[in-house]
A and B are shown apart, each in its own frame.
Chain A
Amino acid sequence: MAELLLLALGASLVNHFAVTSLPGLRPVSGPGDRVEAAAAMGVAVLCVLPLASGIADIVARAVLAPLALGNLDTLVLMLLVATLATLADTLLEYARPRLHERLRAFAPLLATNCAVLGVGFVRIEQRPSLFESFGYGAIAAGVFAFVLVLFTALDERVDASDVPRAFRGAPIALVSAGLVALAFGGLGTR
């Protein structure tokens, strides 16, 4: 349990730094909406990752196994993740143009998150059946969504406080992430 939580925390930390430090990716408009942007990202991952890992599993079983190309399944997952992320981006633009306009560079960010979670968690489980790979994808995405929203809300509060200049920005985000990781560490099961 703790491993998945720490993996999700790592992915959300990467996502957080990409969004806050690269001006191109920072969600447009007021500070209060960073949590909303994180929620949108979380939901997108929840849609893309299970689908990607499920299809990757089908492709692996139907195409790669007969051709003895089992070791290509991670690459196939990457391809699927990239495709579905772009599809999700167009879908979001179609469904919520205002939200899409505010979340700049949404597709690459979504793709990297799914890739990190996909490779990190879905792959290491030796999933015998299709349903399990879909299930693991969903669990990983769900935990990631919760941790990302939680961490974004925490960072929003820490940013608003009078942090010393030496800690402002990335350092304090790392300190709070470290403390959250410390707390997740305590949840390790026997």
Chain B
Amino acid sequence: MTLVSTLPGLLTLAALAAGLGGLLGWSAARGPRDSGSVAERIDALLPQTQCGRCTYARCKPYAQAIAAGEADINRCPPGGELTIRALADLLGRDPQPLAPEVGPAQPPQVAWIDEARCIGCARCIPACPVDAIVGAQKFTHTVIAAHCTGCELCLPPCPVDCIELRVVEAVDERLHRAA
């Protein structure tokens, strides 16, 4: 089996491979680009507290980081175990416990302003990412419990520290009785 006798075989394979390769190149060029919908579907699973405890500014950047593969799925304390499991199911990964550096899982909580000590400086209103604080200059402020996500971002700007966080007991788990 001299080298020369293998030549026709090699040439045939090379020709076939080149032809098929060209076909693939042409078809790949026309294929649709990868749509960014995975990030949106990840964002839909996050609790949207916009608290930044996952070291990303808000929930959407964290979702984009997960979609791009830069961030792991266990960095969201307000979401806790439920969010990690949902993300693991979505992305086909194994659920891991919460990352230690982002702190313990945080039960749902709501901010509450002690109206006696509030001086109406209105510094907390722009800090609230979901506009859950109502008030004006020199007027006592208050938190709309239904809108507050418990992100604790209104605590630092408050000069008199009159805001505290109260844990909301779980949504009414009473037995659900139909007719």
Measured CB to CB, the residues of A under 8 A from B are 23, 26-31, 59, 63-64, 67, 69, 72, 75-76, 79-80, 82-83, 86-87, 90, 93-94, 97-98, 101, 104
Query: Which residues of chain B come closer than 8 Å to A64, judged between CB atoms?
Result: 12
Judge whether B166 is part of the interface by a CB distance below 8 angstroms.
Answer: no
When chains A and B are docked, how far (Å) is the Cα of A86 from the Cα of B89? 27
Interface size class of B (residues with CB under 8 A): 20 to 34
Q: 0/1 per residue, B89-127, Cβ < 8 Å to A?
A: 111111000000000000000000000000000000000
A87 touches which one: B17, B24, B91 (CB < 8 A)?
Answer: B24
Besides A67-B8, A69-B12, A86-B27, 20 more A-B contacts (Cβ < 8 Å) are: A26-B92, A29-B90, A67-B9, A67-B12, A72-B9, A76-B13, A79-B13, A79-B20, A80-B20, A82-B20, A83-B23, A86-B28, A87-B27, A90-B27, A94-B31, A94-B32, A97-B32, A101-B34, A101-B35, A101-B37
When chains A and B are docked, how far (Å) is the Cα of A27 from the Cα of B151? 34
Query: Which residues of chain B come closer than 8 Å to A98, judged between CB atoms?
Result: 37
The chain B residue with its CB closest to the CB of A102 is: B92
Judge whether B65 is part of the interface by a CB distance below 8 angstroms.
Answer: no
Closest 7 pairs between A and B when the two form their complex, measured CB to CB: A26-B92, A83-B20, A90-B31, A28-B92, A69-B9, A67-B8, A90-B27
B12 touches which one: A63, A87, A93, A101 (CB < 8 A)?
Answer: A63
Within 8 A of A (CB), among B18-63: 20, 23-24, 27-28, 31-32, 34-35, 37-38
A29 touches B92 (CB 8 A): yes
When chains A and B are docked, how far (Å) is the Cα of A87 from the Cα of B31? 10
The chain B residue with its CB closest to the CB of A98 is: B37
Query: Which residues of chain A come closer than 8 Å to B32, judged between CB atoms?
Result: 93-94, 97
Query: Which residues of chain B come closer than 8 Å to A67, judged between CB atoms?
Result: 8-9, 12
Judge whether B144 is part of the interface by a CB distance below 8 angstroms.
Answer: no
Judge whether B130 is part of the interface by a CB distance below 8 angstroms.
Answer: no
Judge whether B16 is part of the interface by a CB distance below 8 angstroms.
Answer: yes
Query: Which residues of chain B come closer than 8 Å to A93, judged between CB atoms?
Result: 31-32
